[in-house]
């Protein structure tokens, strides 16, 4: 059910639009554009307004209007008009699921808006970008953008904007399975929308609350909210939300085993989605059909519908739906006795679920990128050569036309000889550089092959375990009995270890190839610590460990860092602290200032580190004597990567520890 919250996000975007605008109003705006020919700020605003209204009428007429608005605004230095047009264009690409293009457009709009200083544009771009980061599973970054947008909405007393942010923060809580807190945020949003009379927004909030009650398995309560939300959405004509709510009601009927009624609701949802070209809704309906027919025992219809859903999910790059479709196909093939196909789909499910990247593909991409850089330099040399030839041709023509001016002709000839000599020397230098670059590329390739060889031994062990355990299950004659289920559990654990190893190898490859791109900006370290602590809630609860965050004597904790890489370093160190901590102990995140230096401390009550281990602590592929308390695995790469990231940001990392006394890692940055 959580995946249907994504539809709620789409609804939140559409709620921004004025859904009550009819075709006559759009025609009126077009007449205004045709009657107003001046190329000024008024025309820019009318173009943007017309494009915005077209979201409820015809999406494909939007881009030409916005392209004219953006170009005109740029030509007359109208920053507000350019930022607004770029923001609306980002919304258009989001609606078409082109998320990377949408993110680039929101970022461009924010940069232009720094000059325009319009708070509504800034907050909208932050909120919309956060929705995409949520879709991509980057919850800390999504939460950061939501909070930044929320502060702007609150400062400007924008009640509808506050409501949208509350909804989005609630959805992140639900992804962390914190449904009760999610319901509280949705209830706050519902009351706010009722106070301002936002009817469509009220329907969205009711649907969101119903989805969280569904996750809590309180189906009757959930159904009450869905029915009320459906009535409102049908009244305002929000077809996207209608399709979503019909699917939600169908899922409740599915849980109650009322399969025929569930099919009726999924069919209505599919019809609505097809009528508006809503591919995400069509994808979800087909997958739900597959679930119903699997329960009914009609395996052919189950396969047909699930494969249709998988096709659409692949087209839209919906990772969650691709993963679920493969899992469902594995169940279907197992039910009909096609165990080989069931196994193949289960492998695909595991790969998508664990986000395992194919190392051969990564190497191929890296090779292509290197070849591209080489060809780019080669083409640059050829371009310079052609340019110089054009210069020579033009000069010779002028010499022929002005032959009577012997002195001038001689001077031009000497100049040309100098240019030719300079070009010859420059060409030789560039040729040497290209040759050197080619040798460096070969060296990098050898280093990557050596890296693969170094970890081959560690990788072969889990691979052999997977192959051995799989052989036991597949050769069994008695089906999946309890022992075989245990073996499948071992397969899953081993696969997770393999995934972790591969991720670390890719991190090392990026660092060693010097492809590390930093985005250094000033950030409040206390806010970053709070976000990191929030992301470990489920892990802490599972292991029974407390995590506290404390800021001591820090009035202004701003430092210039790359936020994404710093979060990765902190998450690695906190994860290690949790691994080596016993239940009922505490991990502390401390932030302090000393002179002009900000220091972060990650402190645990674990077994501590010996003096011998301290010497090799930040080396690559180093294993320590201490072992994680729950048998967690490690590639030995994490701390070496953390050290490189910190030093790349002009910081320092060190450790303080004694055996039996716990461990404290210290990260220091110059104060902003």
Structure letter (DSSP) for residue 652:
E
Tell me the mean pLDDT in the region 303-317: 91
Look up tokens 């023509």; give the residue: 397
Residues of the chain with CATH 3.30.565.10: 520-670
> Which residue has better confidence, 201 or 394?
201
Average pLDDT over residues 323-343: 90
Q: Is the model's pLDDT at 6 over the cut of 60?
A: no
Q: Using pLDDT thresholds of 50, 70 and 90, give the confidence band for residue 267.
A: very high
Q: What is the mean pLDDT of residues 280-307?
A: 93
Residue-level pLDDT at 367: 36
Mean pLDDT within 646-661: 91
State the chain's mean pLDDT as an integer. Answer: 79
What is the band of 433 on the pLDDT scale with cuts at 50, 70, 90?
A: confident
For residue 423, what pLDDT is reported? 74
Please report which confidence band the pLDDT of residue 451 belongs to, taking 50, 70 and 90 as the band edges: low
499 confidence band (pLDDT: 50, 70, 90): low
Average pLDDT of 582-596?
89
Rounded Cα distance between 454 and 463, Å, is 16
Q: Which two tokens stand for residue 457?
A: 């031994």
Residues 158-198 pLDDT 10s: 887 888 788 888 887 777 777 888 888 888 888 888 888 88
Span 523-538, mean pLDDT? Answer: 87
What is the average per-residue pLDDT within 626-635? 61
What does the buried/exposed string (b/e) look like for 511-547 if buried means 16 or more CB atoms within 10 Å of the residue's CB?
beeeeeeeeeeebebbebbebbbbbbeeebeebebeb
pLDDT at 358: 39
Q: Which tokens sit at 634?
A: 């490690």
Name the residue with higher pLDDT: 633 or 318.
Answer: 318
Q: What percent of the chain has pLDDT over 90?
A: 30
Which two tokens mark 273? 């989605």
- CATH architecture label of 520-670: 2-Layer Sandwich (3.30)
Arithmetic mean of pLDDT, 303-329: 89
**Of 3.40.50.300, 3.10.129.10, 3.90.1150.10, 1.25.40.10, which CATH number belongs to 1-169?**
1.25.40.10
- Is residue 300 over pLDDT 90? yes
Among 17-21, 94-98, 245-249, 470-474, the range scoring the smallest mean pLDDT is 17-21
Q: What pLDDT sits at residue 185?
A: 85
- The pLDDT-based confidence of 251 (bands split at 50, 70, 90) is very high
- Each residue of 531-567: pLDDT tens digit? 888 888 877 888 889 999 987 666 788 999 999 889 9
CATH 1.25.40.10 positions along the chain are: 1-169, 238-353
Tell me: pLDDT of 5 over 50.
no
Which CATH code, of 1.25.40.10, 1.20.1440.130, 3.40.50.150, 3.40.50.460, is assigned to 238-353? 1.25.40.10
Q: Which residue has the higher pLDDT, 53 or 328?
A: 328
Quick check: 329 pLDDT over 50? yes
Asked whether the predicted pLDDT for residue 520 surpasses 80, the reply is yes
Task: Give residue 602's pLDDT.
Answer: 95
Rounded to 5 degrees, φ, ψ at 106 are -60, -40
- Poorest-confidence range of 202-206, 489-493, 549-553, 576-580? 489-493
What are the tokens at 552? 């001591």
User: Residue 369: its pLDDT value, please?
Assistant: 34
Q: Of 281, 198, 187, which is closest to residue 242 (Cα–Cα)?
A: 281
Token pair 């949520």 in the structure block, residue: 134
Query: Is 304's pLDDT higher than 90?
Result: yes
Burial class (CB in 10 A: 0-12, 13-18, 19+), 167: buried
What pLDDT does residue 198 have?
86
Distance CA 134, CA 463 (A): 33
pLDDT (average), residues 96-100: 83
Section 43-69 average pLDDT:
85
Which residues lie closer than 8 Å to 409 by C-beta, 6 or more apart?
399, 402, 403
- Choose the most confident range, by mean pLDDT, from 503-512, 540-549, 661-670: 661-670
- What is the model's pLDDT at position 567? 92
Distance CA 217, CA 364 (A): 46
Q: Which stretches of 506-572 are assigned E, i.e. beta strand?
A: 520-524, 546-551, 558-562
């Amino acid at each position: 059910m959580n995946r249907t919250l994504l539809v709620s996000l789409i609804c939140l975007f559409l709620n921004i639009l004025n859904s009550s605008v009819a075709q006559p109003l759009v025609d009126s705006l077009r007449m205004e554009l045709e009657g107003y020919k001046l190329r000024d700020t008024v025309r820019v605003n009318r173009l943007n307004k017309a494009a915005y209204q077209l979201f409820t009428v015809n999406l494909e007429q939007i881009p030409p209007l916005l392209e004219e608005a953006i170009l005109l605004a740029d030509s007359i230095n109208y920053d507000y008009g350019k930022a607004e047009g770029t923001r609306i264009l980002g919304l258009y690409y989001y609606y078409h699921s082109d998320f990377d293009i949408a993110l680039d457009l929101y970022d461009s709009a924010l940069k232009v808006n720094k000059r325009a200083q319009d708070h509504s544009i800034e907050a909208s771009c932050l909120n919309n970008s956060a929705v995409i980061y949520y879709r991509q599973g980057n919850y800390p970054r999504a939460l950061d953008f939501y909070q930044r947008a929320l502060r702007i909405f609150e400062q400007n007393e924008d009640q509808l904007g506050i409501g949208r942010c509350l909804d989005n923060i609630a959805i992140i809580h639900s992804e962390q399975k914190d449904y009760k807190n999610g319901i509280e945020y949705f209830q706050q949003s519902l009351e706010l929308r009722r106070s301002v009379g936002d009817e469509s927004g009220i329907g969205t909030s009711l649907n969101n609350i119903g989805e969280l009650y569904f996750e809590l398995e309180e189906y009757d309560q959930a159904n009450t909210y869905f029915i009320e939300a459906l009535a409102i959405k049908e009244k305002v004509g929000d077809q996207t939300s209608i399709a979503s709510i019909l699917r939600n009601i169908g899922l409740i009927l599915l849980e109650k085993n009322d399969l025929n009624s569930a099919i009726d609701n999924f069919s209505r949802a599919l019809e609505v989605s097809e009528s508006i070209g809503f591919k995400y809704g069509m994808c979800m309906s087909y997958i739900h059909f597959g679930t119903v027919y699997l329960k009914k025992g009609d395996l052919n219809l189950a396969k047909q519908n699930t494969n249709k859903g998988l096709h659409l999910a692949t087209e839209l790059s919906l990772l969650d739906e691709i993963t679920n479709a493969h899992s469902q196909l594995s169940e279907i093939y197992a039910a009909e006795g096609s165990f080989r196909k069931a196994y193949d789909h289960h492998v695909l499910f595991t790969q998508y679920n664990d986000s395992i990247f194919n190392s051969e593909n990564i190497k191929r991409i890296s090779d292509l990128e290197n070849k591209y850089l080489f060809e780019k330099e080669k083409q640059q040399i050829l371009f310079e050569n052609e340019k110089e030839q054009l210069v020579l041709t033009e000069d010779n023509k002028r010499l022929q036309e002005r032959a009577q001016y012997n002195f001038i002709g001689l001077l031009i000839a000497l100049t040309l000889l100098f240019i030719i000599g300079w070009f010859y020397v420059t060409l030789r230098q560039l040729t040497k550089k290209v040759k050197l670059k080619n040798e460096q590329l070969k060296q990098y390739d050898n280093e990557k092959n050596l890296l693969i060889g170094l970890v081959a031994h560690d990788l072969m062990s889990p691979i052999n375990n997977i192959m051995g355990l799989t052989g036991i299950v597949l050769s069994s004659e008695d089906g999946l009995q309890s022992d075989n289920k245990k073996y499948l559990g071992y397969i899953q654990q081993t696969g997770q270890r393999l995934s972790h190893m591969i991720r670390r190898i890719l991190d090392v490859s990026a660092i060693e190839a010097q492809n590390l791109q930093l985005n250094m900006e000033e950030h409040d370290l206390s806010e970053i610590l709070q976000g990191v602590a929030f992301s470990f809630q489920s892990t802490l609860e599972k292991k029974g460990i407390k995590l506290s965050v404390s800021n001591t004597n820090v009035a202004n904790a701003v430092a210039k860092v790359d936020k994404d890489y710093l979060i990765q370093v902190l998450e690695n160190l906190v994860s290690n602290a949790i691994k080596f901590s016993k239940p009922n102990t505490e991990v502390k995140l401390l932030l302090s200032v000393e002179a002009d230096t900000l220091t972060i401390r990650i402190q645990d009550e674990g077994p501590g580190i010996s003096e011998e281990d301290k010497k090799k602590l930040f080396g690559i592929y180093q294993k320590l004597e201490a072992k994680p308390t729950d048998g967690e695995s490690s590639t030995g790469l994490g701390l070496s990567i953390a050290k490189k990231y910190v030093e790349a940001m002009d910081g320092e990392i060190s450790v303080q520890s004694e055996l039996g006394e716990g461990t404290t890692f210290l990260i220091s940055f110059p104060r902003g």
